Amino acid sequence: MQWLITAFVAVRDFMELGGPVLALIGWTIFGMWVLIVERMIYFQTGLRKLRTDIHDTWESRSERRSWHAHQIRDGMISRYSMSASVSVPIVQTLVALCPLLGLMGTVTGMIEVFDAMAYSGSGNARSMASGVSKATIPTMAGMVGALSGVFLVTMLTRRVETEVEILEDDLTMDH
Protein backbone atom coordinates (compact mmCIF):
# COMPACT_ATOMS: atom_id res chain seq x y z
CA MET A 1 0.00 0.00 0.00
CA GLN A 2 2.92 2.33 0.72
CA TRP A 3 4.16 1.97 -2.87
CA LEU A 4 0.80 3.21 -4.14
CA ILE A 5 0.99 6.31 -1.98
CA THR A 6 4.59 6.91 -3.05
CA ALA A 7 3.64 6.53 -6.72
CA PHE A 8 0.71 8.90 -6.31
CA VAL A 9 2.92 11.53 -4.65
CA ALA A 10 5.55 11.18 -7.41
CA VAL A 11 2.92 11.62 -10.13
CA ARG A 12 1.37 14.58 -8.34
CA ASP A 13 4.78 16.27 -7.96
CA PHE A 14 5.57 15.64 -11.63
CA MET A 15 2.22 17.12 -12.70
CA GLU A 16 2.85 20.23 -10.57
CA LEU A 17 6.28 20.70 -12.19
CA GLY A 18 4.75 20.74 -15.66
CA GLY A 19 1.88 23.08 -14.99
CA PRO A 20 -1.74 22.88 -16.16
CA VAL A 21 -0.85 21.95 -19.74
CA LEU A 22 0.78 18.74 -18.48
CA ALA A 23 -2.56 17.65 -17.01
CA LEU A 24 -4.18 18.15 -20.41
CA ILE A 25 -1.40 16.12 -22.04
CA GLY A 26 -1.86 13.41 -19.41
CA TRP A 27 -5.60 13.16 -20.10
CA THR A 28 -4.95 13.08 -23.85
CA ILE A 29 -2.46 10.24 -23.49
CA PHE A 30 -4.80 8.40 -21.12
CA GLY A 31 -7.67 8.68 -23.63
CA MET A 32 -5.42 7.53 -26.44
CA TRP A 33 -4.33 4.46 -24.50
CA VAL A 34 -7.91 3.62 -23.48
CA LEU A 35 -8.92 3.62 -27.16
CA ILE A 36 -5.87 1.56 -28.15
CA VAL A 37 -6.58 -1.07 -25.49
CA GLU A 38 -10.26 -1.10 -26.47
CA ARG A 39 -9.36 -1.81 -30.10
CA MET A 40 -6.96 -4.60 -29.11
CA ILE A 41 -9.62 -6.24 -26.97
CA TYR A 42 -12.22 -5.78 -29.71
CA PHE A 43 -9.97 -7.49 -32.26
CA GLN A 44 -9.87 -10.55 -30.00
CA THR A 45 -13.57 -10.62 -29.15
CA GLY A 46 -16.19 -8.69 -31.14
CA LEU A 47 -14.37 -8.57 -34.47
CA ARG A 48 -13.79 -12.33 -34.48
CA LYS A 49 -17.49 -12.90 -33.82
CA LEU A 50 -18.43 -10.46 -36.57
CA ARG A 51 -16.09 -12.21 -39.03
CA THR A 52 -17.63 -15.58 -38.13
CA ASP A 53 -21.16 -14.20 -38.55
CA ILE A 54 -20.32 -12.62 -41.92
CA HIS A 55 -18.59 -15.78 -43.10
CA ASP A 56 -21.53 -17.98 -42.05
CA THR A 57 -24.02 -15.62 -43.73
CA TRP A 58 -22.00 -15.68 -46.95
CA GLU A 59 -21.56 -19.45 -46.93
CA SER A 60 -25.29 -19.95 -46.41
CA ARG A 61 -26.03 -18.12 -49.69
CA SER A 62 -26.92 -20.46 -52.52
CA GLU A 63 -25.80 -18.04 -55.24
CA ARG A 64 -22.52 -16.10 -55.13
CA ARG A 65 -21.63 -15.17 -58.72
CA SER A 66 -24.16 -12.52 -59.77
CA TRP A 67 -23.66 -8.77 -59.64
CA HIS A 68 -26.13 -8.64 -56.75
CA ALA A 69 -24.10 -11.21 -54.78
CA HIS A 70 -20.92 -9.19 -55.42
CA GLN A 71 -22.60 -6.09 -54.01
CA ILE A 72 -23.74 -7.99 -50.92
CA ARG A 73 -20.20 -9.30 -50.44
CA ASP A 74 -18.73 -5.80 -50.83
CA GLY A 75 -21.25 -4.48 -48.31
CA MET A 76 -20.31 -7.16 -45.78
CA ILE A 77 -16.60 -6.42 -46.23
CA SER A 78 -17.25 -2.69 -45.89
CA ARG A 79 -19.26 -3.18 -42.69
CA TYR A 80 -16.45 -5.34 -41.30
CA SER A 81 -13.80 -2.78 -42.25
CA MET A 82 -15.74 0.06 -40.65
CA SER A 83 -16.26 -1.96 -37.48
CA ALA A 84 -12.56 -2.80 -37.28
CA SER A 85 -11.37 0.77 -37.70
CA VAL A 86 -13.96 2.66 -35.63
CA SER A 87 -11.69 4.55 -33.23
CA VAL A 88 -8.41 4.40 -35.18
CA PRO A 89 -8.86 7.93 -36.66
CA ILE A 90 -9.52 9.29 -33.16
CA VAL A 91 -6.31 7.65 -31.91
CA GLN A 92 -4.43 9.16 -34.87
CA THR A 93 -5.80 12.59 -33.97
CA LEU A 94 -4.78 12.20 -30.31
CA VAL A 95 -1.28 11.13 -31.39
CA ALA A 96 -0.98 14.27 -33.53
CA LEU A 97 -2.36 16.40 -30.70
CA CYS A 98 0.26 15.32 -28.13
CA PRO A 99 3.25 17.25 -29.56
CA LEU A 100 1.05 20.28 -30.19
CA LEU A 101 0.00 20.31 -26.55
CA GLY A 102 3.67 19.91 -25.61
CA LEU A 103 4.45 22.98 -27.69
CA MET A 104 1.67 24.85 -25.94
CA GLY A 105 3.25 23.86 -22.62
CA THR A 106 6.59 25.19 -23.86
CA VAL A 107 5.06 28.54 -24.77
CA THR A 108 3.18 28.91 -21.47
CA GLY A 109 6.31 27.93 -19.50
CA MET A 110 8.42 30.46 -21.37
CA ILE A 111 5.83 33.14 -20.66
CA GLU A 112 6.31 32.33 -16.99
CA VAL A 113 10.10 32.65 -17.39
CA PHE A 114 9.70 36.05 -19.02
CA ASP A 115 7.32 37.15 -16.25
CA ALA A 116 9.88 36.12 -13.63
CA MET A 117 12.58 38.02 -15.48
CA ALA A 118 10.38 41.11 -15.69
CA TYR A 119 9.66 41.11 -11.95
CA SER A 120 13.02 40.15 -10.51
CA GLY A 121 15.49 40.78 -13.30
CA SER A 122 17.50 38.26 -15.25
CA GLY A 123 19.82 37.43 -12.35
CA ASN A 124 17.33 35.45 -10.24
CA ALA A 125 17.80 31.87 -11.45
CA ARG A 126 15.49 30.38 -8.83
CA SER A 127 12.45 32.26 -10.07
CA MET A 128 13.24 31.32 -13.69
CA ALA A 129 13.71 27.60 -12.89
CA SER A 130 10.02 27.00 -12.28
CA GLY A 131 9.12 28.43 -15.68
CA VAL A 132 11.84 26.45 -17.42
CA SER A 133 10.55 23.19 -15.95
CA LYS A 134 7.02 24.15 -16.99
CA ALA A 135 8.42 24.70 -20.48
CA THR A 136 10.43 21.50 -20.87
CA ILE A 137 8.40 18.86 -19.04
CA PRO A 138 5.22 19.25 -21.16
CA THR A 139 7.33 19.13 -24.31
CA MET A 140 8.91 15.87 -23.18
CA ALA A 141 5.56 14.40 -22.12
CA GLY A 142 3.94 15.34 -25.43
CA MET A 143 6.75 13.73 -27.41
CA VAL A 144 6.73 10.54 -25.31
CA GLY A 145 2.96 10.25 -25.74
CA ALA A 146 3.20 10.83 -29.48
CA LEU A 147 6.03 8.33 -29.93
CA SER A 148 4.21 5.57 -28.09
CA GLY A 149 1.04 6.36 -29.98
CA VAL A 150 2.68 6.43 -33.42
CA PHE A 151 3.98 2.90 -32.96
CA LEU A 152 0.66 1.56 -31.74
CA VAL A 153 -1.54 3.37 -34.26
CA THR A 154 0.65 1.95 -37.03
CA MET A 155 0.20 -1.49 -35.52
CA LEU A 156 -3.59 -1.00 -35.30
CA THR A 157 -3.83 0.25 -38.89
CA ARG A 158 -1.90 -2.75 -40.19
CA ARG A 159 -4.03 -5.08 -38.12
CA VAL A 160 -7.22 -3.60 -39.59
CA GLU A 161 -5.85 -4.00 -43.12
CA THR A 162 -4.82 -7.60 -42.40
CA GLU A 163 -8.18 -8.49 -40.88
CA VAL A 164 -10.06 -7.08 -43.88
CA GLU A 165 -7.80 -8.97 -46.31
CA ILE A 166 -8.39 -12.22 -44.41
CA LEU A 167 -12.16 -11.69 -44.62
CA GLU A 168 -11.97 -10.88 -48.34
CA ASP A 169 -10.06 -14.13 -48.90
CA ASP A 170 -12.57 -16.11 -46.81
CA LEU A 171 -15.60 -14.93 -48.79
CA THR A 172 -15.15 -17.04 -51.89
CA MET A 173 -17.05 -16.33 -55.06
CA ASP A 174 -17.62 -19.95 -56.18
CA HIS A 175 -20.99 -21.71 -56.45
Q: Is residue 22 part of a domain?
A: yes
Q: Is residue 156 part of a domain?
A: yes
Q: Is residue 14 part of a domain?
A: yes
Q: What is the pLDDT of residue 39?
A: 93
Average pLDDT estimate for 26-51: 93
Q: What is the pLDDT of residue 175?
A: 54
Q: Taking the model in full, what pTM does it have?
A: 0.79
Q: What is the pLDDT of residue 31?
A: 94
Measure the CA–CA gap between 60 and 52, rounded to whole angstroms.
12
Q: What is the pLDDT of residue 42?
A: 94
| More confident call, 8 vs 93 | 93
| More confident call, 124 vs 6 | 6
Q: Is residue 175 part of a domain?
A: no
- The range of the structural domain enclosing residue 22 comes to 2-170
Measure the CA–CA gap between 49 and 51, rounded to whole angstroms.
5
Q: What is the pLDDT of residue 29?
A: 93
Q: Is residue 117 part of a domain?
A: yes
Q: What is the pLDDT of residue 43?
A: 92
Q: Is residue 116 part of a domain?
A: yes
Q: Across 81-156, where does the E strand assignment appear?
A: none
Q: Is residue 82 part of a domain?
A: yes
DSSP 15-63: HHHH-HHHHHHHHHHHHHHHHHHHHHHHHHTHHHHHHHHHHHHHHT-S-
Q: What is the pLDDT of residue 123?
A: 62
- Our count of domains for the chain comes to 1
